[in-house]
Structure formats: C-alpha cells, structure tokens
Chains A and B, each alone.
Chain A
Amino acid sequence: MALTREQVHRIAHLARIEISDAEADRTLEQLNDIFALIAEMQAVDTSGVEPMAHAQDVAQRLRADQITEVDQLTRRTAFQLIAPQTEDGLYLVPKVIE
C-alpha cells in the first residue's frame, strides 16, 4: 500500500495540522517507509486472537459522583492565567457562529 499526496492532505486536515504541498511530499515518502515496516505485521494471520488493549486486565474504577475540587475559583484563576486569551472566566476563540 502506498499513500498519495491527497491522502496526506486529508489526514493532515483530520488532524488539524496545516501542511504545504512540499511538506506533504516529504512526509509522504517517510510515511510510506513507515507503512512498509507496518506491513510486516499485517501479513500475520491473527484469526481467533483476542485483541489486547491494555497490559493489565482490570476494570475501570468508579467513584462517587461528587465534586472533589475544593476552592474552585482559585483553581480556575490559576488555570486560566496560562491560557492564550480569556475574559470573565471564559476561554476566547475566534467567532464560530456568525
């Protein structure tokens, strides 16, 4: 399998990464090398093998549905201090709906 430049552009769009044609061409070659490596794995017959998502066979822990963070205003201020743009406790982004 070999990727095309168009596919690289499509993936880059899905990943929200701007990419120029020149970059796409360079990336294409490297991605195809990597997918050639990955192809070795695809040739193996794994029918009947249970997929392993995780190293430990444990169930997700549950906790009580309660607020655990005390002093929320101080924490919010601390967290928003490092944001690119905030106002009145809200994160600012370019207008989405006209």
Chain B
Amino acid sequence: MIERSLREIASSLAERRISSVELTRLYLDRIARHNPALNAFITIDEEASLAQARAADERLRRGDAGPLTGIPIAHKDIFCSEGWLTTCGSRMLANFVSPYDASVIARFRAAGAVLLGKTNMDEFAMGSSNETSFFGPVRNPWDLTRVPGGSSGGSAAAVAARLAPAATGTDTGGSIRQPAALCNLTGMKPTYGVVSRYGMIAFASSLDQGGPLARSAEDCAVMLSAMAGFDDRDSTSLDRPAEDFFRDLVSDRGSRPLSGLRIGLPAEFFDAGCDREIIELVDAAVADYRRLGAETVSISLPNMRLSVPAYYVIAPAEASSNLARFDGVRYGYRAAEYHDLIDMYRKTRAQGFGAEVKRRILIGTYVLSHGYYDAYYLQAQRIRRLIANDFAEAFRQCDVIAGPTSPTTAFRLGEKAADPVQMYLSDIYTIAVNLAGLPAVSIPCGFAAGLPAGLQLIGNYFTEARLLDVAHRYQMVTGWHLQHPRGFDSED
C-alpha cells in the first residue's frame, strides 16, 4: 500500500478494498514507529485525523468522492489549520492553535483529504537544512546523520520514509525543490500566484509559493490540481481558469513522446560550483531525454550568479516587514518579564525568534533603513529584472531549462550550520526561479555515494502541466523515483 500512487490509492478506496480509517491508521502507526528517528512531524492529532477519515469513508460510501477523498496528506507547519497547532517551526508560535484554515488547507478539507499531521520545517521557512527549527532538526531517511534539506525538510523526510503518501511544502528560494532533491522526491514550485498564500505564514511575500512534495510527477499533478486556484483573499492570487494538471500525462505518444521538445542547458548550471558526480547524473538524465525525442540547446543565464546576493536583500527585506507582526500582543509568545511596552517587544522578539530569523530581520531592517534603500533594495530589484530578462531570452530558444537542483547531495547535520553564507549558496540553482516567479520541478535522477540527486526542470510561466508531463515521461522509462530508503519498509 505505501508504494501505491495517489491514483491507485484512490481506486482502492473507491472499490472499498481499504477504508480511509484503515489507511490513516496505517500511516499513523508508521509515524509512531519511525518519527522518533526522523523528527519529521511537529504535531500529530490521531483523533482529529481519524474523525476526518470517518467522514471521508462516509463520502466514499455516498459515492461523493474526489481524487483525494480519504487520502491522508501531511502539511508543512506553515499552513494555518483550524484547531491545529501551527508553529512555523518557531518558539514564537509554539503555542499558536490556529483559529482559521489557510486556503490550501481548506481546499484539502473540501476535497475530503485527511490531515495526517503538521511537518517540521526551518523556522519561518528560513533555512536549507531544517536545522533552524525550534523543534530540532529533521533527519534524512537516506542517512540519519545528514540533513533532509529545507525549509520543507519535514514534509520531504515524511514522504521519503513513506510516513505520508504526499505532503505540501512552500518554496521561497528552493524550499520544495532542494529537499525533494536531497530525499529522492518529486517536488514542484508553481508559477507565483497559482497557489493561494492566504493563511500560509508569510516569509518573503513576493517570492513565497506553495506546492507539492510527492513520490512522482503523477502524484504532484494530483496534488497541484487540489492546491491551485484563484482566491480573492490573496491579493496576488491570479484569476485564471481551473486547470487539470494531469491532462498531458495520460496521452500515449509512442516511444519518442517528447519529440519537438527543446531542452535548454545553461552553461551557468554546469560549472565548477557543482559536484562532479551530480553533473554526471544530470548529463545522463539529459541523454535519457534525447532518447525520448527531446533536442538540447546550449543557453546562457548570464546574471544567474547575482541571484543569491539579490535574494539575500529582497527576502530579508520582505521578512523584516512581515515578521514585525510578532510582537507578543495578539497571539504567540510573550516574554514573561518586561518593564514597558518597548521592552516587551524587544524581549518577546529576542526570546521568540531563533538566530537565523534574527539575522535575516536585521539584514532586512538595515537594507530598508534610511539612506540605504536605493543601494540595496532598489538595486536588488533591478538585478531581479535582469534575471527575469535572462529567462525570457532563454525561453525564446527552448521550452524547458534543465540542470541540477542542488550543487551537492545531502550534507551532514552541523556541516554548514555555523556558516550562513555557505548555507545560502546551497540554493544557488533554485533562487533565480523564485526571483523570476517561474514554475520548476525537481525529480530524482540517480545516486552519488548512495545519496539521491535531483534534476531541476524550469518552465515558462503557467507551464506546470507541461513540466509535469516532461517529468512524467522520464519517470515512465526510469526507476530512480521508485527507490526508497532502507529501514522504513512496509509491514503490511
């Protein structure tokens, strides 16, 4: 059961071969057994999950089921979920039981999916290793001494260890794609504005985007079809017709299904900054794509190297503004002792935020402060334009851009924790995509010394269905995505 696709699970439920209660119980038992070693979940509420499962079984009985009805899904603890602790990985929200649902959560509830639990994450999604969480680091199921990536590390570890059939994540600079790569999953960041940000705790509002982490492109298509859609409560939600992201995946197009597809290979993605073994795995995947009918073209993204510096101005600037709301007045943590209002703010924020979050708030406050705005924030926005222009130029020559997702495989816990700049550079291939607002997917493309590596596919705006199809065609002829870590095998 734990290796079945979401569509296969849905059939099993529809045909009454398993009930949602049995399925939910199976995953709750797996979580109870394996989560202590992984720390992938912050909150589990068996009663709440099983109540949803019973309601889903009732819907299934009535014949009123959709593609996710009765399927347990894990959610990153950044999505407000009514009645559930929603911590965002922070001491600041360690006592915050959300009084409302994020739109993403409401959509899964309406679809009849079961909320299986809330997954661990870097504090306020700021990190690439899941080590900044107030609730402790998550461990990579492929090697417990290594990080799962971040910031959606709990979601990635949970799905990789088969503690959940699929999960949600958010991606501000690579936080879905990089953990997907490090844990051998398929993870997609949609076009900015496709998935509602309402109730998704804000980090950098012009970059944040929710998306799925799953075991295949097919499962991502099912997840994204549930997540995407216009929402008038998100001012940057895009009002577009509803899409079935599965539509391209089902057609039979023979042995060369990608004939006519032009894959762009940017020189900047294949330089000395990337581990040799990962380049070789990506090259091999590109060769597989040629066999599927695709042609490759050399392209250039000359301003790529500026994406990390521009990001570390824009994201902290927006974060410093967004996180001003955590003041100990309306919700969350408040310091126990203080002597006046300003002191209450200062102590609440000093004690409630962890070191990385404080660092980014300080950077953001500085670059937005009087006299520095033009030199930093405005300059970063101009660089952002140059990067977006590079992509626009590239998409005149190709349909999809391919390269590595991460320059390394999973690194060791503690390896980069003391050096923020080294940590920031682990997102070098993913950040430019957020700055431009484009969709991208990371798919498993092999192993280096036993650790998974990811291939990143970047598309033009609103080409999610195409990207998932391109990913799916590769997964039809390769088996990397089917590999799963040892020690978490099925007991059924």
List A residues at the B interface (Cβ < 8 Å).
3, 7-8, 11-19, 27, 30-31, 33-42, 44, 46, 49-56, 58, 60-61, 63, 75, 78-79, 81-85, 91, 93-96
Smallest CB-CB separation from A85: which chain B residue? B334
Interchain residue pairs with CB less than 8 A apart (22): A11-B365, A13-B346, A15-B365, A16-B342, A17-B362, A18-B347, A19-B358, A34-B312, A37-B312, A38-B312, A38-B313, A39-B309, A40-B309, A51-B378, A52-B385, A56-B192, A63-B232, A75-B99, A81-B99, A84-B332, A91-B330, A96-B341
Contact pattern, B 85-123, Cβ under 8 Å of A = 1, otherwise 0: 000000000011101000000000000000000000000
Partner of B385, one of A3, A37, A50, A85: A50
> Given A17-B346, A84-B328, A84-B329, A52 and B388 touching (CB < 8 A)?
yes
Cβ A15 vs Cβ B362 within 8 A: yes
Q: How far is the CB of B145 from chain A (nearest CB, A)?
A: 25
Most chain A CB neighbours (cut-off 10 Å) among B193, B361, B362, B437: B362
CB pair A55–B331 under 8 Å, yes or no, is: no
Given contacts A33-B420, A56-B236, 14 further A-B contacts (CB under 8 A): A7-B366, A11-B365, A15-B320, A15-B361, A34-B312, A37-B309, A40-B309, A41-B309, A42-B375, A52-B384, A55-B191, A58-B193, A83-B329, A94-B344
In the assembly, what is the distance between CA of A59 and CA of B344, in Å?
A: 38
Partner of B206, one of A27, A40, A53: A53
Q: Contact check: which of A16, A54, A84, A93 meets B236 at CB < 8 Å?
A: A54
Partner of A16, one of B191, B327, B369, B386: B327
Is residue B142 contacting chain A, with contact meaning CB distance below 8 A? Answer: no
Q: Which residues of A contact B312 (CB under 8 A)?
A: 34, 37-38
In the complex, are the beta carbons of B424 and A37 less than 8 A apart? yes
Which chain A residues border B436 with CB–CB below 8 Å? Answer: 55
Instruction: Give the size category of B's interface with A.
Output: 35 or more
Nearest-CB distance from B80 to chain A (Å)? Answer: 11
Which one of A15, A38, A55, A63 contacts B376 once the chains associate, using CB atoms below 8 Å? A38
Which chain A residue shows the least CB distance to B320?
A: A15
Contact, CB under 8 Å: A11 / B359: no
Q: For the complex, would chain B's binding face be called helix, strand, loop or mixed by DSSP majority? A: helix
Question: In whole angstroms, what is the CA distance A91 to B359 when docked?
Answer: 29
Q: Closest approach, in angstroms, between the C-beta of A73 and any C-beta of chain B?
A: 14
Of the residues A52, A53, A93, contact of B329 by C-beta under 8 Å:
A93
In the complex, chain B residues whose CB is within 8 Å of the CB of A30: 359, 420
Q: Does B294 contact A (CB under 8 A)?
A: no
Complex CA–CA separation, A33 to B376 (angstroms) = 16
